[in-house]
Structure 1
Amino acid sequence: MSFQSLHFLLFVGVVFALNRHFLDRIETRKNILLVASYYFYMCWDWRYAGLLLVISAVNFVAGRSIEASRTERGKRRWLAFSLMASLGVLACFKYANFFIDGAERLIAALGFAPDGPLLQVLLPVGISFFTFQSLSYTLDIFRGRERATDSFRDFALFVAFFPTVLSGPITRAREFLPQLEQPLPDSRERVEEGLVLIVRGFVKKIAFADVLALHLVNPAFAAPADYSPLFLLVAVYGFTFQLYMDLSGYTDIARGVAKLLGFELPQNFDRPYRALSVSNFWQRWHISMSGFFRDYLYFGIGGSKRGNVYLNLYVTFIAIGCWHGAGWNFVVYGLIHGSCVCFERWRRGRREARGLPATPQGPVARLCAILLTLQIVALSRILFRAPDLDSAAAYVAAMLRPVSDFAPFTAVGVATLVVAVLLHYLPRHLFAQTARAYLRAPVVVQGGVLAGLVLALLAVSPGAASFIYFQF
């Protein structure tokens, strides 16, 4: 069920209407949302709906058992069961092909050839997101931050809630489950805000992410040796903003649909390319994912209080890299970001020891910090976009050792990148003012603006491309 399809729009419309009709009948409303969520997931791949159900059941049982255990040993056993089952399934589906390919290369290096094609495992869509979302529940119960729910139906809905199941935001149970028990007051303003978010998300995806991919990113990464270093460099910045527009666009749609249904989801982005450091970037980028690794991995292995803080940071960022994909390019991606964060922490400590401010002061210093951080983030994206480490190295080599001066820039591609950059750095209040002006306008004007925007999106749309993070 593509988000850019009539099927999705009709689906959301039907679920919204049913949800509104049964707003005062909480149990019926929950049943409708659960059925709708599983229907939505099965439209992507019906074979893995059972996997979604199993992950939910494992963590529901583990959560209740952790809370019921009277000994610390018993709690740890049930937590270990939850971790091994959930992470084992994730590793099996997400990293099996990596080890299979490695085994195939090893066999070939030893002079043997496999008798037949080796097994390739199909990755269930959204598995990283719903696995981590369900794990956060059992980990919070173990730490005493969450009470176990008595309703498997409610927990299953929390894990499978269709706006978040594919690409987040990774929502904590303490944020979502109370909204099932005590629904937020019905609000016309929330519905209007939801519509604005949905429209903004589609604009980001169709008018920016997909256009940048078509005109800059895909050609450059398909055959980097065919293009000039300038075109390859611009394509790197193009991918940097494509990725942001793609994932933040999905998040806007997810949060908007949730608002239509009466739920509030956490914010997932805070102008990440305005970050003053790589550390600050991870406080602004994919906040729900980076927050998960911070709270449950970094703090879990000691953080800055136990063990070596730099080793703990490296472990966390390598895990973040590997979460994005099974490949050495993602390991190196994590190492680069981990090294930057470790250096920044060391430098911040040195400055504070000398009585100097930890962050850049003054507009020039702040601008330089933003530009430096953007370069590190953008260039490391080559590892993120390339299919493997060799392809990333080939891309960098083409940038450094030019063999072509071919630079097929298009007016649409360059203009889209320029507008994306400008929108990212414009003051936030301008967007809030525009949204308020739209919501205050007469219904006829709102409908006309919306119709014109839809027609414009259809005109510039290069086709229904899947969201990038669906592969994770």
Structure 2
Amino acid sequence: MSFQSLHFLLFLGVVFALNRCFLQRPDARKNLLLVASYYFYMCWDWRYAGLLLLMSAVNFLAGRRIQESADARGRKRWLAFALAVSLGVLACFKYANFFVDGAVRLVASLGVQADLTVLQLLLPIGISFFTFQSLSYTLDIFRGRARATGSFRDFALFVAFFPTVLSGPITRARQLLPQLEQPLPDSRERLEEGLVLVLRGFVKKMAFADVLAAHLVNPAFAAPADYSPLFLLVAVYAFTFQLYMDLSGYTDIARGVAKLLGFDLPTNFDRPYHATSVSDFWQRWHTSMSGFFRDYLYFGIGGSKHGNVYVNLYVTFVAIGCWHGAGWNFVLYGLIHGSCVCLERWRRGRRAARGLPAEPQGALPRLAALPRLAALLLTFQIIALSRILFRAPDLGSAAAYVAAMLKPVAAGAAPFTAVGLATLLVAVLLHYLPPRLFEHAARGYLRAPAVVQGGAIAGLALALMAFSTGTASFIYFQF
């Protein structure tokens, strides 16, 4: 059930109307949302609804037992149980073929022919997201940052909540469970904000991400040898903005739908291409995912206080790379980003050792305009070029793309289209314009009469249909 489909719009309309009817009946409301969430997930593949239920049951049980355990050993046993089941299931579905293929290659390199059957397992959609969301609950209870809920229904709804189950944002239990136990007061402002977020998300997805994919990204990555280095470079930049528009568009829709239903979800992006370092980028990009790895993996293995901080950073970023996919291209993607973050940390340490003031993080407000612009452009180049590994299906394809970019400039075609270039230019401009302009526009829309608002929605829908290149799924569904 794609967000862009008529099926979803009808589904959302029914759920929204019934949810409004049940605002004063919390139990009926939660039952409705739980049934709706499982129906939504089963529309993608009904066979894996049991897997979603299993993850919920395992972590609900482990959370209760951890809280009830009187000794540290018992708490650790139940945590190990939850980790083993959750990560074991994730590894089985997501990485089994990668390890089997690696074993075959290793044995073959030793001169032995092995016939190991590659498992034909269909990757359950959203498995990385609902696995991490359910595990965050168990880990928070183990660390004393949250208390176990007594309602399995509430926890099952937290894990399966249909706006977030496929691609996040990865919501912590302490963010959503209290809203289930004590509903937020009904608010017209929240409904209006939700509608604006949904509309913004559809614009990002259909008017930007899908258009960039159709006109620039897909042709370039399908046959890079056929195109000029300039076209291939522009396609890399286009993919960088396609990925942002695609995932942030999904996040906007998810947060907007949640607001329409009376829930607040965390933001997931903070203008990531404003980053002036790779470290800064990861504080702005997909923050619910990067925050999970920071809090539960990086700090869990020692962070900057225990062990070698650089080893801990490398482990974390390689894990982030592997979370995105089972392939050496994703391992290398993590190594590149980990190396940049380690280099930036080493440089900060050298400045401190020499008695120099620490460089401010984030937007680097004290830097002059030119050095700040140089830092922003350098960071963007690193992010964009590393995305070749992200977009290519494997390491060999990524190497072929880079090789095509390095061929003589005159070789290959450059089939730029006015629509593709204009879309990329507008995407860049929108990303770097001051956010207050969008806030003013949203407030102006909300202050407009209902007739004007309805006309604007109708006009926007017609425009999106005109620009639509189909109902391409969101990129992060594959993760």
Q: TM-score range by the shorter chain?
A: over 0.9
1:281 aligns with 2:281: yes
For 1:365-384, list aligned pairs within 5 A: 365-384=371-390
Contact 2:201/2:252 (<8 A) preserved: yes
CA distance in 2, matches of 1:394, 1:375: 19
Contact 1:324/1:330 (<8 A) preserved: yes
CA distance in 1, matches of 2:78, 2:98: 29
Aligned-pair distance for 1:111? 6.0
**Counterpart among 404, 413, 431 of residue 424 in structure 1:** 431
Aligned-pair distance for 1:104? 4.3
Contact 2:96/2:119 (<8 A) preserved: no
Contact 1:225/1:404 (<8 A) preserved: no
Equivalence for 1:355: 356
Gaps of 5+ in 2: none
Aligned-pair distance for 1:409? 0.3
Task: Letter of the 2:359 partner, please give it.
Answer: A
Aligned-pair distance for 1:40? 0.2
Equivalence for 2:43: 43
Task: Letter of the 1:407 partner, please give it.
Answer: A
Contact 1:107/1:114 (<8 A) preserved: no
Q: TM-score, normalised by structure 2?
A: 0.97
Gaps of 5+ in 1: none
Task: Letter of the 1:332 partner, please give it.
Answer: L
**Counterpart among 353, 364, 367 of residue 370 in structure 2:** 364
Equivalence for 1:244: 244
Task: Letter of the 2:452 partner, please give it.
Answer: V
Aligned-pair distance for 1:106? 4.8
Aligned-pair distance for 1:113? 6.7
Contact 1:154/1:180 (<8 A) preserved: yes
Contact 2:67/2:75 (<8 A) preserved: yes
Contact 2:201/2:253 (<8 A) preserved: yes
1:18 aligns with 2:18: yes
Contact 1:133/1:159 (<8 A) preserved: yes
CA distance in 2, matches of 1:339, 1:102: 25
Equivalence for 1:451: 458
Equivalence for 2:411: 404
1:324 aligns with 2:324: yes
Task: Letter of the 1:2 partner, please give it.
Answer: S
Task: Letter of the 2:130 partner, please give it.
Answer: F
CA distance in 1, matches of 2:315, 2:112: 35
CA distance in 2, matches of 1:340, 1:195: 39
CA distance in 2, matches of 1:357, 1:51: 48
Equivalence for 2:75: 75
Q: TM-score, normalised by structure 1?
A: 0.98
SS of the equivalent of 1:283 reads: coil
Contact 2:225/2:412 (<8 A) preserved: no
Contact 2:203/2:249 (<8 A) preserved: yes
CA distance in 2, matches of 1:119, 1:303: 36
Equivalence for 2:64: 64
Task: Letter of the 2:163 partner, please give it.
Answer: P
Aligned-pair distance for 1:166? 0.2
1:386 aligns with 2:387: no
CA distance in 2, matches of 1:363, 1:184: 44
Deviations 1:105-163 (A, max 9, x none): 45665463749x63321100000000000000000000000000010000000000000
Contact 2:97/2:118 (<8 A) preserved: no
CA distance in 2, matches of 1:104, 1:301: 31
Equivalence for 1:413: 420
CA distance in 1, matches of 2:395, 2:217: 18
Aligned-pair distance for 1:249? 0.2
SS of the equivalent of 2:52 reads: helix
CA distance in 2, matches of 1:302, 1:316: 11
Task: Letter of the 2:466 partner, please give it.
Answer: A
Equivalence for 1:314: 314
Contact 1:171/1:266 (<8 A) preserved: yes
Deviations 1:53-78 (A, max 9, x none): 00000000000000000000110000
SS of the equivalent of 1:408 reads: coil
Aligned-pair distance for 1:251? 0.1
Count of aligned pairs: 471
CA distance in 1, matches of 2:77, 2:132: 19
Task: Letter of the 1:140 partner, please give it.
Answer: D
SS of the equivalent of 2:125 reads: coil
Contact 2:67/2:147 (<8 A) preserved: yes
CA distance in 1, matches of 2:215, 2:352: 46
Aligned-pair distance for 1:35? 0.2
Task: Letter of the 1:226 partner, please give it.
Answer: D
SS of the equivalent of 1:284 reads: coil
Aligned-pair distance for 1:356? 3.1
Equivalence for 2:339: 339
Equivalence for 2:469: 462
CA distance in 2, matches of 1:183, 1:125: 29
CA distance in 2, matches of 1:74, 1:193: 45
CA distance in 1, matches of 2:335, 2:108: 29
- Which 10-residue stretch deviates more, 399-408 or 415-424? 399-408
For 1:428-443, list aligned pairs within 5 A: 428-443=435-450
SS of the equivalent of 2:282 reads: helix
CA distance in 2, matches of 1:470, 1:170: 13
Aligned-pair distance for 1:401? 1.9
Aligned-pair distance for 1:170? 0.3
Aligned-pair distance for 1:96? 1.0
Equivalence for 1:188: 188
Equivalence for 1:220: 220
Equivalence for 1:295: 295
Aligned-pair distance for 1:45? 0.4
CA distance in 1, matches of 2:104, 2:246: 34
Equivalence for 1:202: 202
Task: Letter of the 1:458 partner, please give it.
Answer: M
Deviations 1:300-354 (A, max 9, x none): 0000110111110000000000000000000000000000000001111222333
Task: Letter of the 2:357 partner, please give it.
Answer: L
CA distance in 1, matches of 2:113, 2:300: 44
Q: Over the residues paired in the alignment, what is the CA RMSD in angstroms?
A: 1.2
CA distance in 1, matches of 2:177, 2:402: 47
Equivalence for 1:112: 113
Task: Letter of the 1:436 partner, please give it.
Answer: R
CA distance in 1, matches of 2:261, 2:135: 25
Task: Letter of the 1:471 partner, please give it.
Answer: Q
SS of the equivalent of 2:210 reads: helix
Task: Letter of the 2:303 partner, please give it.
Answer: G
